[in-house]
Structures are given as C-alpha cells and as structure tokens.
C-alpha cells in the first residue's frame, strides 16, 4: 500500500475532534468515536489470544513504587517515569503551601513521594502478582492484561502520548515456551494487520535505555533481537510508528521476582503489547477520518 506523507494528520485529528488537547503535549481527551475504535481494537486483541485461556487482569494506571523500583525502571528509563507525590504535612505546612500557591511560587517541593507511581507498561505489575503465588504450574502461565500507561515523552506527534492504553499478553514459563509464544504472536499480529488492511512490517527494535550505559544495553538488545515491533506508517512514511511490540525478557523478570517454573528453574518471560491508540490512529490514517467509509471487513473486525 502506498501512502502519501500527511504532515497535517495531527491537525486533521484535532479539527475532527477525535483527540482534544488538554494543555500538555501528548495528553488528550478522546471523542466517543475515537474511544469506540480503541475499545473495538481492545476486544479484537483479546479475541486474538482467546485460545490461550489466559488469566484476565485489568490494572489501574498506578502501581506500587516498591515493585517499580525492584523492576529497575529508574535505572533504565528515568526520563520516562512518572511518580506520584502527595501532601502529607500539618496545618502549618499547609499554610506555607497555600502561601506559595498564592504568590505563584513553586509549591511542589512541599509534597513528598508517595508509595505509588504511574504504570509505565501493562506487564510491570503482573510479575510480582504471579511471583506471590509460588511456582508456576506445569506449562507455565499466560496473562491477558490491560492498563492505562504513563510515559513522560511530551510530543506534538499524536502517536506519542503521555497516557495511553496498552493491552498485553504476558507469557511466563520455560525458555522454549516463551520463545515459541513470541514467534507465534508475530504471526498473529501480522494476520491482525492484514485483517485491518494496514501496511505493517516487523522490525528489530530497542527500548530507549537512558544514557551512555543505556546505549550499550540497547545495542545488546538489538543484537539478540530481544525486541521486535510491528510498525505502520502513521504520522510519517519515512519513520513508521511502532504499534505493537514483542519482547523477550529472557530470565530478567524471573530472576528479579524469583519466579520459578514447575521444575524449579528460573522462569523466562515474554510479552506482546498492543498500543491501542496507535493502532486506532493507524486505522484513521489509512482508512480516513470517517469510519462510515472504512472497508466493511475492517468495521466488522472492530464491531463498528
């Protein structure tokens, strides 16, 4: 499929009221239509893995700071993290805060970090939940999980949001189980893109690890092809957008959380993540802003 570059895609979306700016780049209210496309994709993603009889989990947009720390998020991605700070002072302290507010001074230092942070990816809170149950059953485990996620990457590009919804399937098991899970999902995802008449490609990718040491981690991730992405041209033809990712963590989270297989070896894990807004934006980009004009098969696939 040949797509023209559309520098005005962002403004068309805003003009059509599909996304409504909320005063910080990458933070949007969504119209009913936009959200119904997202909801349709969410259901479709779930159905794509129905044969796995996965455990269904729905997560809040925050997780425990202790789990976030243990997962090593601040070591790898401090630039993306969103922590939740709260006021927990007495009345004198409150007076100070109000004074600062009234004189338009920075009042945020009057708060302290709470024990929760914003969920950066749907799978992060899953590992400690599964670890708390003891050894995995024979054959391992699969979780089908959705969450609102936060990443501090403000941008005018509508595909780069600060808060977005992620639907993931998370596999925990032996190295072989995890490897074949990821390979199978690459094929499932390509089938989904074909069904949605979206021009998708699979590419080897890396996470945006911070700093100089991060560059080496990213290079090693690419070298071992631990992260694959399904990319679709959305905001630009030259730089297609990652709409899904397929991540093999090897035994990183198994070791971090002491997750063990039924024969007591450290579990391997993998996750496949659907970026629901990015997939929705890909549909609007390729089929137009009027859903009534979309191919019937595409509308049927997402129940519209």
Contact footprint for Zn ion (CB under 5 A):
121, 123, 271
Question: What is the smallest separation between the CB atom of 119 and ligand AMP, expressed in angstroms?
Answer: 11
Nearest approach, Cβ of 127 to Zn ion (angstroms)?
Answer: 10
Residue 123 contact partner, candidates Zn ion, ligand AMP, none, CB within 5 to 8 A by sort of partner: Zn ion
Q: Is 289 helix (H, G, I), strand (E, B) or coil?
A: coil
Minimum distance, C-beta of residue 158 to Zn ion, in the bound complex (Å): 23
Distance of closest approach, residue 295 Cβ to ligand AMP, in angstroms:
22
* Minimum separation from the CB atom of position 278 to ligand AMP (A): 4
| Helix 276-287, helix 32-48: angle, nearest 10 | 110
Q: Report the residue number, 121 or 282, with the smaller CB distance to Zn ion.
A: 121
Residue 110 or 158: the one with the smaller Cβ distance to ligand AMP is 158
Binding residues (CB under 6 A) for ligand AMP: these are 121, 151, 153, 160-161, 164, 166, 229, 242-245, 273, 275, 277-278
Residue listed under structure tokens 């914003």: 118
Of residues 114 and 206, the one with the C-beta less far from ligand AMP: 206
Residue 164 binding partner per list Zn ion, ligand AMP, none, with a CB distance cut-off of 5 to 8 Å that depends on partner kind: ligand AMP
| CA angle in degrees (0–180, nearest 5) for 165-235-161 | 30
Residues 172 and 251: their CA atoms lie apart, in Å, by: 10
**Measured between alpha carbons, how far is 123 from 145 in angstroms, rounded to an integer?**
7
Sign of CA dihedral 258, 246, 60, 28: positive
Partner touching 245 among ligand AMP, Zn ion, none, CB below 5 to 8 Å by kind: ligand AMP
- Which one of Zn ion, ligand AMP, none is in contact with 48 (Cβ closer than 5 to 8 A by kind)? none
Are 275 and 242 in contact by the 8 Å Cβ rule? The answer is: yes
3-state helix, strand, coil split of the chain in percent (to 5) is: 40, 25, 35
Task: Please count the other Cβ atoms lying within 10 Å of the Cβ belonging to residue 40.
Answer: 22
- The residue among 110 and 177 lying less far from Zn ion, judged by its C-beta, is 177
């Amino acid at each position: 499929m040949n797509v023209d570059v559309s520098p005005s895609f962002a403004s068309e979306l805003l003009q059509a009221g599909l996304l409504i700016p909320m005063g910080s780049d990458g933070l949007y209210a969504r119209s009913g239509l936009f959200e119904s496309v997202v909801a349709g994709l969410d259901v479709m993603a779930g159905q794509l893995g129905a044969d796995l009889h996965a455990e269904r989990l729905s997560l809040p947009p925050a997780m425990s700071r202790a789990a976030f720390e243990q997962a090593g998020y601040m070591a790898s991605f401090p630039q993306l993290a969103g922590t939740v700070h709260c006021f927990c002072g007495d009345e004198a302290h409150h007076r100070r805060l109000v004074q600062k507010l009234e004189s338009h001074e920075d009042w945020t230092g009057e708060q302290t970090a709470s024990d929760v942070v914003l969920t950066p990816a749907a799978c992060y809170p899953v590992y400690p939940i599964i670890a708390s149950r003891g050894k995995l059953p024979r054959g391992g485990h699969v979780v089908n999980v959705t969450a609102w996620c936060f990443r501090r990457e403000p941008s005018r590009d509508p595909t780069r949001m600060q808060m977005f919804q992620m639907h993931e399937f998370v596999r925990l098991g032996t190295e072989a189980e995890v490897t074949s899970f990821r390979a199978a999902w690459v094929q499932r995802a390509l089938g989904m893109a074909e069904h949605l008449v979206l021009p998708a490609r699979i590419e080897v990718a890396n996470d945006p690890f911070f700093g100089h040491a991060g560059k080496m981690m990213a290079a090693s991730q690419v070298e071992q092809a631990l992260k694959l992405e399904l990319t679709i041209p959305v905001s630009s033809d030259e730089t297609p957008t990652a709409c899904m990712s397929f991540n093999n963590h090897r035994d990183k989270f198994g070791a971090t959380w002491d997750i063990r297989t039924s024969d007591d070896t450290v579990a391997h894990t993998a996750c496949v993540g659907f970026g629901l807004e990015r997939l929705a934006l890909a549909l609007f980009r390729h089929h137009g802003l009027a859903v009534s004009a979309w191919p019937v098969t595409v509308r049927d696939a997402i129940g519209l």
